[in-house]
Amino acid sequence: MNILSRCLMALSRESRMSIKDATFSSEGALFYTVVISSSTIEQMVSECLKAGVNETGGILIGSYSEDSSTAMIVEATTRPADSLAGRTTFQRGVRGLRPLLHARWKTGLYYVGEWHFHPGGSPEPSGDDFRSMTSIAANPDYQCLEPVMIILGGDPAGSYSLSASVFPRGDGPIRLREVLI
């Protein structure tokens, strides 16, 4: 092992240990901000590490600001056991989510959207991703007018990146950009 790869290893260890909250905002007329807590990012990274070469995902739990322009995500669940996952597909199951959401609701936290993993790929949403989020926004069972989608792409053990999009009911998707503070 040469000095450069030792340095890179140290760097990736360092960045894993110091995961910070991430903030994403819209640039257009409609103003949306999504804040993802560092522990949520850690939960997603650890699920992706377990999934290996397969996609995985779950739901996002959090709360909204009073004017509902900002979603604060505080939890990314593990993959429900009845999910279907392959190398380039993921269909989230539902097992266990109802009691979990009920318990969170008692503490003022709600379903705010979905997250999933593109192993070794970019975090760009696919056509299927757009379609499934649009149907969630339109589905009254979710009681979520503006679901958020977070995708983790790349290598969860090294260099990975996140994308964030909002799907307002009856409107086109809005891609958010990371705000680097």
Catalytic residues: 55
**What residues between 120 and 159 interact with Zn ion by CB under 5 A?**
126, 129
Output the six-digit token pair for 168: 């307002």
Contacts for 56 with CB less than 8 Å, ≥ 6 apart: 47, 48, 50, 79, 83, 85, 90, 116, 117
Please, what is the minimum distance in Å from the beta carbon of residue 89 to Zn ion? 8
Residue 68 in the binding site for Zn ion (CB under 5 A): no
Stretch that binds Zn ion, among 8-16, 35-43, 59-67, 118-126 (CB under 5 A): 118-126
**3-state secondary structure (DSSP) of residue 171:** coil
- In the complex, the smallest distance separating the C-beta of residue 169 from Zn ion, rounded to whole angstroms, is 21
Give the position of tokens 């993959």: 79
Q: Number of residues in contact with Zn ion, rule: CB under 5 A? A: 2
Q: Can you tell me which residue has the tokens 């649009």?
A: 134
What is the smallest separation between the CB atom of 129 and Zn ion, expressed in angstroms?
A: 4
Helix (H) or strand (E) segment spanning residue 99: helix 97-105
If the CB atoms of residues 15 and 126 are measured against Zn ion, the closer one turns out to be 126
CA dihedral over 121, 122, 123, 128, signed as positive or negative: negative
The nearer residue to Zn ion, 109 or 174, going by C-beta atoms, is: 174
| Positions in the binding site for Zn ion (CB under 5 A) | 126, 129
